[in-house]
Amino acid sequence: MKKKQIHYLFIISFIVVLLLAGSAIVNIRYETEKMTQYCFQDLNDECEALAKTLKDSIQMDDIALQAMAAMVADKVEEGDQEILKIVNVYNTSASYVSYVEILWPDNHILRQDGATMNASKMIDFDKEAKKGKYISDKEKEFFEPNEPVIRNAVPVIHNGETIAMLYGIVSLRDMAERYVSTAFDGDAYVYLIDGNTGDFLLDTWHKSLGNIKDLTGRKMLPGYDRETELQNLENGTSANMAFISKTIGQPLYLHSNAVGINNWSVMLTVSEDVAFEKTRSITKFLYLMTLWDTLILFFYIGCIIQYVRGNLKEKNLQLKQIEKMGSEDQTTELQNRNRYDRQVKEWMDHTFDTIVCIYMDANGLHEINNRYGHDVGDQMLRIIANSIKEEFEYQEIYRIGGDEFLVISQRFTEVECREKVKRIVMMIEKKDYHVAVGIKYRENEIGLNRIIREADEEMLEQKRQYYEKKDRRVRT
């Protein structure tokens, strides 16, 4: 075959491949649209079922609480102990209610476990009595104000008069732990949203409860209007959304339905992998068909490209491994002193809009190494490193000495960083280890030397106080 004929054959083959690829793309788009329709229909069906289940459960709790209120009304003159016997009959494990509380006319609270408190600064009995039976939105717990709860309130009525208010307390933290969804074989995430505030009352994905407005930073897929769908959520009407998840990096599909309680909506979220499970095989076949035709024509070119890429990949891996060995601490898998020194030098003249430096030192490492050996000391260092990594990114953390760790971050406020450090210290102390911490925050700071030095000084002062306190305990 002549060179010219080969050239024409190549062109014709290339055109055929393009046509096949175009046909496959059209079919894939068509299948994707159908998959999206099926996805939202499935989400709608599951949401309706979840909303009904949630509403029925809360209503069953309400019925049980009303029966309990009637029993309390009959025993109210017999004292708190008799009341507690009635209250403790309630089986909270079979419902969303975590525990029960009673509000008396003098604004004293009696909790199911017998604890009492004067809640006059937080609640007014007369106002509560006027409300009658109701289910609250997210509120603060009386005994632990930092705990978010929902109150299922039922009046205790005796001789036509409200003599107490009975509350079924739904701890939102407990609710997230107890709630189990079988939607999409357990691969979907469930949210309960208060449309009035946008607050999440239930979130089976994240560790903390956020707000629907947190979604404003997500990149929406074509055809979805964020503002319209968020407004639908606030209005308690059905909403569909699809956007790119910051966590998993792939599209998420969301659907919400009203629950029928307050202005709550239940929202179900699935990843693209889960949403398109039913029709994935068709799409895969179309992709494989196009790929097969292309590989037949360009096999030789593909081999050359693969060979070149293989060599480049191997070299890149070798370079990365060498760089990693020189920049990463082998014990904790954090950035090491070399990387820290280079970073400080690179940022010597850099002006930071905001910068926070956290200097952390492991108390007692030397003693642990001497008493139990370096393996136990290394375990301590890894626990501290992993605790820090729970709150900060890898590129922000350094191990700069035997027992010293440093965090340099531009992403958070001082308050946020101090809260993160509290959580880190709590995680470490749960393992019976202790750290000294220095935190410094500055704005419009040039370079890192001063803020690191100040954080180091604060850490050293805390470390000194730790050992003084430890010495006093030993002497006493």
Separation CA 187–CA 274 (nearest Å): 7
Same domain, 127 and 241: yes
> pLDDT grade, residue 293 (50/70/90)?
low
The mean per-residue pLDDT over the stretch 66-82 comes to 87
The mean per-residue pLDDT over the stretch 41-50 comes to 84
Same domain, 314 and 378: no
User: DSSP E strands: which ranges in 127-262?
Assistant: 134-135, 139-140, 148-158, 161-171, 189-194, 200-203, 219-220, 239-244, 251-258
pLDDT per position as a tens digit, 167-201: 999 998 888 777 777 777 888 888 899 988 889 99
The predicted pLDDT at position 309 comes to 54
The predicted pLDDT at position 45 comes to 85
User: DSSP E strands: which ranges in 259-307?
Assistant: 264-271
Same domain, 101 and 246: yes
Q: In terms of residue numbers, what domain contains 232? A: 28-288
Say whether pLDDT at 471 is over 80: no
φ/ψ of residue 277, rounded to 5: -60, -40
Residue 14 within a domain: no
List all residues 6 or more positions away from 295 whose beta carbon is below 8 Å from its beta carbon: 302
Looking at the 3D structure of the chain, how many domains does it have?
3
* Residue 175: alpha-carbon gap to chain centroid: 15
> pLDDT grade, residue 433 (50/70/90)?
very high
Same domain, 238 and 347: no
pLDDT per position as a tens digit, 15-30: 776 776 677 676 666 6
Residue 2 within a domain: no
The predicted pLDDT at position 475 comes to 45
> pLDDT grade, residue 77 (50/70/90)?
confident
> pLDDT grade, residue 307 (50/70/90)?
very low
Same domain, 345 and 409: yes
Say whether pLDDT at 350 is over 90: yes
Residue 211 within a domain: yes
Same domain, 342 and 267: no
Residue 369 within a domain: yes
Same domain, 136 and 189: yes
Q: What pairs with residue 265 in β-bridges?
A: 193, 258
Residue 256 within a domain: yes
Residue 13 within a domain: no
Same domain, 159 and 283: yes
Say whether pLDDT at 405 is over 90: yes
> pLDDT grade, residue 5 (50/70/90)?
low
Residue 22 within a domain: no
Q: Kindly report the average pLDDT of the chain as a whole number.
A: 84
Residue 7 within a domain: no
Same domain, 207 and 323: no
The mean per-residue pLDDT over the stretch 241-261 comes to 87
> pLDDT grade, residue 376 (50/70/90)?
very high
Separation CA 166–CA 153 (nearest Å): 6
Same domain, 273 and 401: no
Same domain, 180 and 201: yes
CATH number at residue 450: 3.30.70.270
Same domain, 399 and 277: no
pLDDT: which is higher, 216 or 254: 254
pLDDT: which is higher, 105 or 26: 105
